[in-house]
Amino acid sequence: MDVLSDVIAVTRTGRPRSAQVRWHAPWGQEFASVPGSAGFQVILEGSCWLQAPDTEPVRLGTGDVVFLPHGSGHTLADSPEWLVTAPACSPDDSGSYDAYASDSVDRSGSGGPVTVVLCGAYRLDPTRAHPLLLTLPDLIHLPAHPDRRPELDAAVTLLTAELQTPHLGTDAVVPALLDTLLLYILRIWFTGRPAGEESTGWAAALNDPAVTAALHAIHQAPAAPWTVAALAAEAGLSRAPFARRFARLIGQPPLGYLTWWRMTTAARLLRASDAPLRTVAAQVGYGSEFAFAHAFKRTHGTAPGAYRRGN
């Protein structure tokens, strides 16, 4: 798997939820902060205003996509005046917004102009959050644009159709489309910057062929006996320049990231299977079960067996 796919696989948990909501002006809705989640809003019809903490109100038009990777609270309204008086939408018992059920909702107002919004929420596990996601801003706004990647709009169209007219298999299709939508949003953010716009951190790393080659090597074969020299060879660079470039963009040395990813992969294997510890150890590059247990406890604060029982 590539890096971005792996990030979603290890971080997202449970079933994502979505809804198509039709509002009639005047209207406003405050969405509470939900730690350990990520949410999105796609304007399918009409326009509205968005207010997030510590930001100026943003006008959203048809086709705009807003992604909130850290579950930040925010408010949507048909006009700036309604932003300060919008009623709260509290999380339900499952930790998702009550508007985020896989359904279509019509919230009639006074018969004013209509705004249709595709809402969604993903549950994320904060204990295994990938640093790629931690570097994202609280709010990502992807305006509608003729040059925007068409696959994002295609995913929105398919998801909208499933919510408007459920068919056989909709319960399986919707979560898959939500994962697809999430990947497309992140792909555009990390690799779709306009020419001339400088990238930093993980955005720069995923646009750097040398660092990306090393990351792919680690993710595709975490059990391989990687050394800095071997990863530098994958990157097509000499050892010292590669190590400096990797650490500058990723935020930690190559072997530090390798160990972190091995332990993250091991945690996923412990949760998802009943394979013996020696098998899990071998799958993440440890020939000794004792060495694996020591490394795992140093990273996760608990022994592998206790971690499995607790999850």
- Structural domain contains residue 31: yes
- Structural domain contains residue 108: yes
Before 225, cis peptide (omega within 30)? no
Please determine, for residue 13, whether its predicted confidence score (pLDDT) is greater than 90.
no
CATH number at residue 103: 2.60.120.280
Q: What number of H helices and E strands is found in the chain?
A: 12, 11
236-265 pLDDT, tens digit each: 999 999 999 999 999 999 999 999 999 999
153-167 in b/e form (b: 16+ CB < 10 A) is eebbebbbebbeeee
State the average pLDDT over residues 130-155.
87
Q: Give the burial class of 218: count Cβ atoms within 10 A of its Cβ; 0-12 exposed, 13-18 middle, 19 or more buried.
A: buried
Is 123 in contact with 37 (CB distance < 8 Å)? yes
pTM here is 0.80
Q: Give the integer Cα–Cα distance in Å for 219 and 258.
A: 9
Domain identity same for 262 and 176:
no
Kind of pairing between the strands at 58-60 and 114-124: unpaired
Domain identity same for 252 and 107:
no
Domain identity same for 128 and 249:
no
Q: Look up residue 128 and give its DSSP letter.
A: G
Please determine, for residue 70, whether its predicted confidence score (pLDDT) is greater than 50.
yes
Return the top range by mean pLDDT from 94-108, 193-207, 244-258.
244-258
Is 277 in contact with 293 (CB distance < 8 Å)? yes
Q: Which domain holds residue 253?
A: 208-310
* Tokens matching residue 68: 């909130």
Domain identity same for 179 and 224:
no
